[in-house]
A and B are shown apart, each in its own frame.
Chain A
Amino acid sequence: MYVAVKGGEAAIDAAHAWLAEERRGDPAVPAPTVAQLREGMALAVDRVMAEGSLYDPDLAALAILQARGDLVEAIFLLRAFRTTLPRLAASRPVDTGAMRADRRVSAIFKDVPGGQVLGPTFDYTHRLLDFALAAGVDPPPAPGAPADPAPLPRVAEALGAEGLLQPEPPGDATPPDLTREPLELPAPRALRLQVLARGDEGFLLGLAYSTQRGYGRTHAFVGELRTGAVSVEVEIPELGLAIELGEVVLTECETVNQFAGSRTEPPQFTRGYGLSFGRAERRALAMALVDRALRARELGEDLSGAPAGDEEFVLGHCDNVQATGFLEHIKLPHYVDFQAELELVRRLRREAEAARAAGESAGREAAE
């Protein structure tokens, strides 16, 4: 007699134990520590913090270790942990103008006040595998960087002074909070930027790239790209002053884009904006291009047919925690619905077969 499949509980326990063993790998090789991952995999840690929306390098490194290096899984772990954290306060807006930048470049001027600062970039390295790393050779010390770099003036201010750049007036309005309120469409720019800031880097990269290849071209120039530490301050109402909690490293990108003018605006340059936790130039650039593409409606531009300019498409699909969960849920059993489909297809086939048979016999009768 048939016995219904049982044993879900035991199977799950066994699978978890097996996973833990695989995670550990060869016991003869020392396991990587959280500190090693935090230091040696710093850019992976930065990505997990950015898309996990939680600035904590140690937790991000732990998530990477637990996820066996699967960054989307690590981001998911960090997000789920984030859910459990109480919100004690909101910081004052960070001042990226006062950033202690160790890298700052502008592509629109040969030189800028404060200078072009290359910083620790891959940009001009030759992409040759370095076997010295495998041998564990420590690098020679780098020429001394200024211990405490001075704040650099923003490149955009030079254009803004001439009135060539659409101003972004400061506002005191509290922006909507994606993590506390549902995403409502159409979304204001502040909300769009929040979605993009935690959006999947690969998705943003593809979208930004598509605008460069003609699917919603916005003619972007890199006005300025800067990376460095900014201080985070919290207002203490009882004390009537703000105290500094610490620093976070951010990457900020401002693009300068052509704009022909609209019903209400004269021809001028407009901006796209990207901001990310950590060192994350690719995501900051991509975010700025997508942000600019999503301003098409507000600026009266026609980007129809361009995925990057389609707010519902972009905002609805850029979160990799949502995307991977929903994609992978098709692994779950669906046999109840499949049974219903199975019955339907069988019925349709029976009916089609009957109709064909009836047609044939009618044809024979007609021929006789």
Chain B
Amino acid sequence: MSADGLPWGFAYLDEGTKRMIRRALLKALAVPGLQVPFASREMPMPYGWGTGGVQVTASVLTPDDVLKVIDQGADDTTNAVSIRRFFARTAGVATTTRTAEATVIQTRHRIPETPLREGQILVFQVPIPEPLRFLEPRETETRRMHALAEYGLMHVKLYEDIARHGHIATTYAYPVLVEGRYVMDPSPIPKFDNPKLCSEAILLFGAGREARIHALPPHTRVESLAFEDHPFEPARAAGICALCGAADSYLDEVLTDDRGGRIFVCSDTDFCETRRAGGAS
């Protein structure tokens, strides 16, 4: 019986399904960057809206956990609200918007600015886990390329970017090499967040529709792909937050009128609010 008294388990999934997902998570943690297939279930939210992340969160959540859910860095975007409510209802866990207070954070498209610490779990929603997919559409072929570590094609793409634009034109879902072995898609986080992939926390990636899980244990070596003479550069809008004055956070651009007026604000709402509460502006 779930927390809301309806006939499903704690956090919606039955214990058998959670065990199956935990086995996949353990395998993914044991081989960082490897895409582990799992028997993804239909969830009560659509594929592409975070079903992978939700299944992973449901499988790691305990009644004592404190859950935070963000989308685009913000706690109050509609999809974040919807998923947070889902777990408040089906698992009865405490929820928070504070990064520092959360034990489990589910995210779409961002890594919080506040550094994560040991004991925290960050769960990513992943649309397409295969970093080679748009270079090679066939699963059987990409699987072989991973098995043989044949990643030349990935660099062909980066070469092409530089030849065409003068620099690497991938701005999000920027591919990384994990522990020198597997090329991995970090999900569509802006490349500004890539350096945060080397973390003290456990990072779990769930792709529901594609039925794949991958993971980064704490302190995993994660390198963003690049050339020696065109090194990786995290990028953000040149500006400071109009609310808290932060000059080093990832910024959203907000249109303030229909005459081209615009300001920048922190994408991480908790980070911004915490700074303002501390007197920054």
Bound pair (A, B)? yes
Interface residues of A (CB under 8 A from B): 2, 4-9, 11-12, 76, 79-80, 82-84, 86, 179-186, 312, 316, 321-322, 324-329, 332-337, 339-344, 348, 351
- In the complex, which of the residues B79, B171, B211, B267 contacts A182, with contact meaning CB atoms closer than 8 Å? B211
Q: Are the CB atoms of B171 and A326 closer together than 8 Å?
A: no
Given contacts A76-B42, A179-B39, A340-B171, contact A329 B48 (CB under 8 A): yes
Given contacts A8-B78, A336-B110, A340-B172, contact A326 B48 (CB under 8 A): yes
Name the segment of B59-67, B151-159, B175-183, B185-193 touching the other chain: B185-193
Is B101 an interface residue when CB atoms closer than 8 A count as contact? no
Q: Are the CB atoms of B263 and A335 closer together than 8 Å?
A: no
Q: Are the CB atoms of A8 and B172 closer together than 8 Å?
A: no
Q: Are the CB atoms of A180 and B39 closer together than 8 Å?
A: yes
Q: How near does chain B come to A61, taking the closest CB pair, in angstroms?
A: 19
Most buried by A among B9, B47, B74: B47
Residues 206-236 of chain B, each 1 if its beta carbon lies under 8 Å from chain A, else 0: 0001011000000000000000000000011
Q: How near does chain A come to B209, taking the closest CB pair, in angstroms?
A: 5
How big is chain B's contact interface, by range? 35 or more
Can you list 25 contacts pairing A with B, beta carbon distance less than 8 Å? A4-B74, A12-B78, A12-B81, A12-B82, A80-B43, A80-B44, A84-B7, A179-B39, A182-B211, A183-B211, A186-B140, A312-B138, A312-B140, A328-B46, A329-B49, A333-B77, A334-B72, A335-B252, A336-B110, A336-B189, A339-B190, A339-B267, A340-B172, A342-B253, A343-B171
Is B200 an interface residue when CB atoms closer than 8 A count as contact? no
Q: How near does chain A come to B43, taking the closest CB pair, in angstroms?
A: 6
Residues of A within 8 A of B110 (CB): 336
Given contacts A180-B39, A333-B72, A340-B235, contact A86 B14 (CB under 8 A): yes
Is B237 an interface residue when CB atoms closer than 8 A count as contact? yes
Given contacts A9-B76, A312-B139, A321-B47, contact A339 B209 (CB under 8 A): no
Q: Are the CB atoms of A321 and B42 closer together than 8 Å?
A: yes
Residues of B within 8 A of A6 (CB): 76
Residues of B within 8 A of A182 (CB): 37-40, 211-212
CB under 8 Å from chain A, chain B span 42-91: 42-44, 46-49, 51, 71-74, 76-82
Distance between Cα atoms of A80 and B49 in the complex (Å): 14
Q: Are the CB atoms of A2 and B78 closer together than 8 Å?
A: no
Q: How near does chain B come to A99, taking the closest CB pair, in angstroms?
A: 29
Q: Are the CB atoms of A325 and B49 closer together than 8 Å?
A: yes
Q: Are the CB atoms of A80 and B42 closer together than 8 Å?
A: yes
- In the complex, which of the residues A9, A328, A339 contacts B251, with contact meaning CB atoms closer than 8 Å? A339
Residues of B within 8 A of A184 (CB): 37
Q: Are the CB atoms of B42 and A337 closer together than 8 Å?
A: no
Residues of B within 8 A of A84 (CB): 7-9, 12, 14
Q: How near does chain B come to A178, taking the closest CB pair, in angstroms?
A: 8
Distance between Cα atoms of A2 and B252 in the complex (Å): 13
Distance between Cα atoms of A79 and B188 in the complex (Å): 27
Residues of B within 8 A of A312 (CB): 137-140
Given contacts A84-B12, A333-B72, A336-B110, contact A185 B140 (CB under 8 A): yes
Distance between Cα atoms of A337 and B80 in the complex (Å): 17
- In the complex, which of the residues B76, B211, B242 contacts A2, with contact meaning CB atoms closer than 8 Å? B242
Q: Are the CB atoms of A343 and B73 closer together than 8 Å?
A: no
Query: Between A and B, how many residue pairs show CB distances below 8 Å?
Result: 148
Q: Are the CB atoms of A2 and B254 closer together than 8 Å?
A: yes
Distance between Cα atoms of A9 and B77 in the complex (Å): 9
Q: Are the CB atoms of B191 and A8 closer together than 8 Å?
A: no
Residues of B within 8 A of A341 (CB): 171-172
Q: Are the CB atoms of A336 and B250 closer together than 8 Å?
A: yes
Residues of A within 8 A of B173 (CB): 337
Q: Are the CB atoms of A337 and B39 closer together than 8 Å?
A: no
Distance between Cα atoms of A223 and B47 in the complex (Å): 38
- With A7-B76, A82-B42, A329-B46 known, 8 other A-B pairs at CB within 8 A are A9-B76, A83-B13, A84-B14, A321-B46, A322-B209, A332-B108, A335-B72, A337-B109
CB nearest neighbor in A for B13: A83
Q: Are the CB atoms of A83 and B42 closer together than 8 Å?
A: yes
- In the complex, which of the residues B47, B192, B243 contacts A326, with contact meaning CB atoms closer than 8 Å? B47
Distance between Cα atoms of A339 and B239 in the complex (Å): 13
Distance between Cα atoms of A334 and B74 in the complex (Å): 12
Is B127 an interface residue when CB atoms closer than 8 A count as contact? yes
Is B269 an interface residue when CB atoms closer than 8 A count as contact? yes
CB under 8 Å from chain A, chain B span 133-164: 137-140
Q: Are the CB atoms of A332 and B76 closer together than 8 Å?
A: no
Q: Are the CB atoms of A11 and B48 closer together than 8 Å?
A: no
Residues of B within 8 A of A348 (CB): 165-166, 169
Distance between Cα atoms of A336 and B17 in the complex (Å): 33
Residues of A within 8 A of B127 (CB): 326, 329
Distance between Cα atoms of A139 and B165 in the complex (Å): 71
Distance between Cα atoms of A183 and B43 in the complex (Å): 17
Q: How near does chain B come to A33, taking the closest CB pair, in angstroms?
A: 23
Distance between Cα atoms of A121 and B235 in the complex (Å): 63
Residues of A within 8 A of B242 (CB): 2
